[in-house]
Amino acid sequence: MADALFTLPGMLIDGAWRATGTEGAAEVRSSYDDGLVAVVPKAGGEEAREAVGAARAALERDNFPRAERVRVLEQAAAAIHDRQEGFARAIMAESAKPIKTARAEAARAVETFAFAAAEARTFAGDVVPMEATPSGAGKTAFTLRTPIGVVAAISPFNFPLNLVAHKLAPAIAAGCPVVLKPASATPVSALLLAELLTDLGVPSGWLNVVTGSGGTVGEALATDPDVAYVTFTGSADVGWGLAAKAPKTKVRLELGSNSPLIVEADGDWRTAAAKTAVAGFSHAGQSCISTQRVYVHEDVADGFVDDLVAKVGALRVGDPADEETDVSALITADDADRVKSWVDEAVADGGKVLCGGERTGAAMVTPTVLEGVRADAQVQCQEVFGPVVTVTRYADFDDALRMASDSRYGLQAGVFTTDLGKALRAGRRLHFGAVLVNDVPTSRADQQPYGGVKDSGNTREGPAYAIEEMTEIKLVSLQS
């Protein structure tokens, strides 16, 4: 067997690295060329429970003071910055994300840790004006923000470093010991990050990483009675299923979407077309906020479609390691087959392929633009999670708002318009976690509140918001 690209210490439980799990070991392979990326332990439910026990004991030891947590987070931001290229190569190898996009993800992880460090320095409770009511007479009260308890973090394959950072950094800042289960397809960046954090002095038990399948390790973590908080990022069915299985636990979900973009006739449709050619196809459309459904006013639709198709047709498809590659493989051949079958289904129902639509390589679909697709086609009403954008023409802005909102999902929506009234109407009427004016969905700054409504989730991430979720407000009242 060829040597793996990365040699990893194994999984981390209670400060010790383990090379194998109760279910043996698993190979991590590239979906682009099947190259062996790493071999990681395959844990079962037993190790999940052990890791939660270690986290629980760490919480009781209370041996990771806030100043130390600030130091670790600040030094982690600097250390990730110094090793950015190595992290980018790991992201690229395990997820087939093109190297230039992988570099952007690694740079974002630096920001995520830096914002968590800033928040860790400053978050605090409030003084409560008790004497403002007769029942508060003679009382002086304030609130403390205390750690909620053990955090179980379950992460997806598509941002294997930065979405892990969005869970570990706030947990450290909040003072919560954490057990992470990374996606089976992409555990490498997470393990490298855990190694970096332990090298910086995170004490035993405060950070545990258990590799193994979602159905066993993930479920065992989420349903463990000693877990106070589950932070899950992944698909809607799995996420809502976990929430139902752990009704007494705070289960916070960051899930998928089929993000819409509205392009009004008065808007800068050329910029909208150029941005859609990136936003719909970055990491082969495997982003939860990938632009998927475009509604374009009929007066500018011809120009918009011509521009979009020209730009999408010019995207470079191929090896993720190639500096010029824009779009590479999907995470599995099955996913590529599914996306292709959804495109075929839309076409069989009257949709037209304007470009792409081919299934190539081990796990690739060529960047695809479709027009005239029915509202109930899967490429329109489900999350495609592949390199596919649909275009629908409209005549009336309110119809476009209605069609954009008509989805089980609600993560982000975009609107291009220069009319302030329409921009405000969109901001109020579109039922999403974020409405972006003169920008496409697929926009995330790591400090912003990020998350969705409806089937897209029930929380907001971003270090400050996640830390708020991971802390509890405790009132301390003194009677004089």
Dihedral of CA 271/328/447/457: which sign?
A: positive
Determine if 175 is a binding residue for ligand NAP (CB under 6 A): no
Site string for ligand NAP, 90-129 (x = CB under 6 A): ----------------------------------------
Given a contact cutoff of 8 angstroms between Cβ atoms, the answer to whether 268 and 438 are in contact is: yes
Whether 345 is a known active-site residue: answer no
Q: Smallest distance from the beta carbon of 362 to ligand NAP, in angstroms?
A: 18
252 backbone dihedrals φ, ψ, rounded to 5°: -110, 130
Determine if 342 is a binding residue for ligand NAP (CB under 6 A): no
Q: Which is nearer to ligand NAP, 213 or 448 (CB)?
A: 213
Determine if 243 is a binding residue for ligand NAP (CB under 6 A): no
Considering only the stretches 29-37, 73-81, 180-188, 342-350, report the one whose residues sit in contact with ligand NAP under the rule CB under 6 A. Answer: 180-188
Determine if 219 is a binding residue for ligand NAP (CB under 6 A): yes
Among 98, 218, 280, 361, the residue binding ligand NAP under the rule CB under 6 A is 218
Q: Smallest distance from the beta carbon of 155 to ligand NAP, in angstroms?
A: 6
Using CA atoms, how far residue 34 sits from 27, 91, 227, 333, 363, in Å, is 10, 15, 36, 11, 10
What DSSP character marks residue 99? Answer: H
Determine if 285 is a binding residue for ligand NAP (CB under 6 A): no
Among 176, 238, 346, 391, the residue binding ligand NAP under the rule CB under 6 A is 238
Considering only the stretches 131-139, 231-239, 265-273, 414-422, report the one whose residues sit in contact with ligand NAP under the rule CB under 6 A. Answer: 231-239
Spatial separation of the C-alpha atoms in residues 472 and 464, rounded to whole Å: 14
Among 101, 112, 155, 392, the residue binding ligand NAP under the rule CB under 6 A is 155
From the centroid of its chain, how far is CA 239? 13
Given a contact cutoff of 8 angstroms between Cβ atoms, the answer to whether 191 and 212 are in contact is: no
Spatial separation of the C-alpha atoms in residues 18 and 20, rounded to whole Å: 6
Q: Which is nearer to ligand NAP, 95 or 471 (CB)?
A: 95
Q: Which is nearer to ligand NAP, 146 or 235 (CB)?
A: 235
Given a contact cutoff of 8 angstroms between Cβ atoms, the answer to whether 282 and 290 are in contact is: yes
Q: For 134, what's the count of Cα atoms within 13 Å in the CB-facing half-sphere? A: 0
Q: Which residues contact 82 (CB under 8 A, 6 or more apart)?
A: none
Whether 46 is a known active-site residue: answer no
Q: Which is nearer to ligand NAP, 224 or 307 (CB)?
A: 224
Q: Smallest distance from the beta carbon of 279 to ligand NAP, in angstroms?
A: 14
Determine if 224 is a binding residue for ligand NAP (CB under 6 A): no
Determine if 229 is a binding residue for ligand NAP (CB under 6 A): no
Determine if 41 is a binding residue for ligand NAP (CB under 6 A): no
Among 254, 319, 326, 455, the residue binding ligand NAP under the rule CB under 6 A is 254
Among 97, 181, 250, 454, the residue binding ligand NAP under the rule CB under 6 A is 181
Determine if 192 is a binding residue for ligand NAP (CB under 6 A): no
Annotated catalytic residue, options 111, 219, 254, 469 = 254
Instruction: Give the number of residues in contact with ligand NAP, rule: CB under 6 A.
Output: 30
From the centroid of its chain, how far is CA 205? 25
Determine if 12 is a binding residue for ligand NAP (CB under 6 A): no
Q: Which residues contact 165 (CB under 8 A, 6 or more apart)?
A: 80, 108, 109, 112, 113, 193
Looking at residue 41, its amino acid is P
Q: Smallest distance from the beta carbon of 424 to ligand NAP, in angstroms?
A: 26
Looking at residue 224, its amino acid is D
Spatial separation of the C-alpha atoms in residues 69 and 169, rounded to whole Å: 9
Q: Smallest distance from the beta carbon of 385 to ligand NAP, in angstroms?
A: 6
Annotated catalytic residue, options 288, 371, 461, 469 = 288
Residue written as token pair 């009675």: 225
Give the length of the chain: 480
Q: For 102, what's the count of Cα atoms within 13 Å in the CB-facing half-sphere? A: 29
> Residue 446 is encoded by which pair of tokens?
């790591």
Look at residue 419 and give its three-state secondary structure.
Answer: coil
- Give the strand order in the sheet containing 471-479: 127-128, 139-147, 471-479
Contacts with ligand NAP, residue ranges (CB under 6 A): 154-159, 163, 181, 183-185, 213-215, 218-219, 222, 233-235, 238, 242, 254-256, 288, 383, 385, 411, 457
What residues are annotated to the active site? Answer: 254, 288
